[in-house]
Structure 1
Amino acid sequence: MAENTQQQRKVIADAVVSMDGYTSTGPEDDMSWAMAHISSEQSELMYEGIWRGVSTAVLGRVNWEGFTSVWPGLTSDPSSSARTRDLGNWLATVEKVVFSTTLQQTDLDKAEWTNARISRDPEAQVRALKAAPGRDILVINSASIIKALLKADLIDELHMTVIPATLGAGVRLLPDGLASTWRLSHTTTIPTTGAVALCYRRP
């Protein structure tokens, strides 16, 4: 019998975070505090280096509702950059798993985006995804999911982009009570916005 040499998929978590450790101001966060970075050309180039190697995107309800209300317009806007349109097309068609306790599959099917399904259990679903064929798995800026997967020791690579702003309160990216060790893989400085992107991997 031939040996199975398939490499297990990596789970990559990516999030923006304020200098005081928050990834959003709360449920109604408008992301205005991070938009200069998110929309910068250097940020687009850096992020492209991540999503090009991904075949499954993971996100929560808040990001699903926010992204599907904004990204179709950005993708079809001729004034958007080529990289923005490429990312929008990728988001629209890539396999997506949306973790929510309130949304139903019919809610997802109403959106312009395709290839999305509901799941209730982040840990069990991500374990199954890691064992399935495919390229890497990307958790997109969803703090609750990142916290759950960190506690379950399921994140292989953690990207945190520190924005030069303090929020004072909101949703923290990292869970309380979790002790873990990481290795710094690389850093990227975004001079136009003053943001610093940190990539950590498990040793």
Structure 2
Amino acid sequence: MRKLIVCNLISLDGCYTGPGDDVMAMPFDHGFDDYNAERLRAADTMLLGRTTFEGFRDYWPPVADNTDAAPVEREISRLTSDIDKVVVSDALTADQTGAWHNTQIVPRADAHKHLTELKNGPGRDILVFGSHILWKDLLAHGLVDELHLMIGPGIVGDGVRMFETRPPASFQLVETRTWEGSSLLLTRYAVSS
């Protein structure tokens, strides 16, 4: 069975966006890109909500050919372009996927059934980046297998909190990890309902 893995960067005060949903306020460093590239290499499907999909679609494709970008960012650009994408949305249409033609749009009402079929089918990991409304719903319905949180040393003060209430799941620590020269700490949890 394939794993559904949620990957997010959070601040020390428990947010994964800064004020006004500003993700650039987060405490990024090279460890973030290194780990995301690693996760993308191990996956063959990316599951996203509409807002995160649109942000990725608008940002990542041109990075592959940007010689000023770091090599790992260029790799992430290529990996996100090549990976199959599933977007859960009632608003997005096929003509809005841009250069990413390997994108399937699934209506919200069909998301749980579709994801269950994906998880039971052949393939590698299914990744969720961002998309907090989507993955919190999937967590509440027992469809998330692992939660990978990269904790950065910043305090953003305000933003979208990782959890507003106690989630309907239990978490077992599987791994902690750091990267040389990085201030980020990866905490990887197995999820059980």
What corresponds to 2:48 in structure 1? 59
Q: Percent identity?
A: 28
SS at match of 2:47: strand
Conservation of the 8 A alpha-carbon contact between 1:187 and 1:196: yes
Indicate how the Cα distance of structure 1 residues 175 and 29 shifts in structure 2: closer, same or farther if over 3 A, else same.
closer
Shift of 1:168: 2.8
- Find the residue that maps to 1:112 and give its secondary structure: coil
43, 65, 72: which is aligned to 1:83? 72
- Alignment length, in residue pairs? 190
Q: 1:185 offset after TM fit, Å?
A: 1.3
- Structure 2 residue corresponding to 1:115, chosen from 102, 113, 117: 102
Pairwise CA RMSD: 2.0
CA displacement at 1:35 relative to structure 2: 6.0
SS at match of 1:130: helix
Residue equivalent to 1:23: 16
Q: Which segments of structure 1 move beyond 3 Å, counting only runs of 4 or more?
A: 190-193
Deviation at 1:167, TM superposition (A): 2.6
Q: Secondary structure at the match of 1:24?
A: coil
Distance 1:43 1:170 in 2: 19
Aligned pair partner of 1:34 in 26, 42, 46: 26
1:4 match:
none
- Deviation (angstroms), 1:11: 0.6
Q: Secondary structure at the match of 1:97?
A: strand
Aligned residue number for residue 174 of structure 1: 163
Structure 2: gaps of 5 or more residues: none
> Is 1:56–1:94's contact at 8 Å kept on the other side of the alignment?
yes
Alignment partner, residue 104 of structure 1 = 93
The unaligned stretches of length 5 or more in structure 1 are 1-7
Cα distance change of structure 1 residues 9 and 175 upon mapping to structure 2, 3 Å threshold: farther
